[in-house]
Amino acid sequence: MENRSFYNEILTEHNVRPEFKHDLPDADIVLEGVNPSCGDDIFLKLKTDGDTITDGAFVGDGCAISQASADIMLGMIVGKKKEEALQMGKIFMKMIKGDASEEEIDSLEEASALRDIAHMPARVKCAVLGWRTLKEALLGEDADDDDDEDGDSEPDYESLWRPVRNGLQSIQIRRVFHTHIDKNTRCFL
C-alpha cells in the first residue's frame, strides 16, 4: 500500500505542477497527439540540435494520467539522443504491456509509477499518448515500420487498446509540422 501511495504522489505532483507544460515557441518539431476516448489532446514540442533533444514541452488538455505521463516523459528525454529517447519509449511500452523486466522498469525512474496502468485497460491510451506522439515526432512516417534490435517488427500498439475499443477510435496522431533545417543547405525539408 505504501508503494502505491508513493506512485500516486508522483503522478499527482506531475499533474498539479508539471515542469514541462508550457509553450516552446522555438521548437523545431511540433506534433499533436489525440486520445478521443478520453478527450486528451496534447501538442508535443521538441527543440533539437542534431541528434540531441535539447528542450521539450507540451501544451494541451487531458486527464491526470496523460498530463503526468507526458511531463514525466519530457523530464526523461530532454538532454538525451533521439535514439535513447526512442529506446526509453520501447521500454515504457513493454512495461505497459507487462513484458518489461524489473531492471527495465527501474530504468524508467518516475515513469515506473505508471506500471499498474497495464491493469486498467481504459487508461492505457492516456498513459502512452505522450510516448506514442514522441515516437511519431522523431520517426515521422517510419514510426509504424521501424524494427527493434532483434530484427522483428515492433508490436502493433493498437493491440494495447483492443480490450477497450468498443467502437471508439484509437489515439490519433496529427502531424502539425515537423521542420528540419539541413545545416549544409540551409533549407527547410
What are the tens digits of pLDDT across the range 57-83? 999 999 999 999 999 999 999 999 999
Given a cut of 80, whether residue 166 has pLDDT beyond it is no
What is the arithmetic mean of pLDDT over 31-53? 94
pLDDT value at residue 24:
97
pLDDT of 91 over the 90 cut: yes
Grid cell in block for residue 76: 526523461
pTM comes to 0.75
Between 152 and 139, the more confident residue is: 139
CA separation for the pair 178, 107 (Å, rounded): 29
What is the dihedral angle through the alpha carbons of 9, 11, 15, 18, rounded to the nearest 10 degrees?
90
Give the pLDDT of residue 31.
95
User: What percentage of the chain reaches a pLDDT higher than 90?
Assistant: 57
Cα(102)–Cα(80) distance, integer angstroms: 22
- Please check the confidence at residue 128 and state whether its pLDDT lies above 60: yes
Q: Measured at the alpha carbon of residue 87, what is the angle toward residues 129 and 161, in degrees to the nearest 5?
A: 35
CA nearest neighbour of 17 among 82, 78, 85, 72: 72
Q: Mean pLDDT in the chain?
A: 79
Burial of residue 104 (CB within 10 Å: 0-12, 13-18, 19+) is: middle
Instruction: Report residue 106 CA to chain centroid gap.
Output: 17
Q: What is the mean pLDDT of residues 162-173?
A: 41
Residue 82 and residue 49: Cα distance in Å, rounded? 10
Stretch 97-120: mean pLDDT, rounded? 90
Average pLDDT over residues 101-108: 95
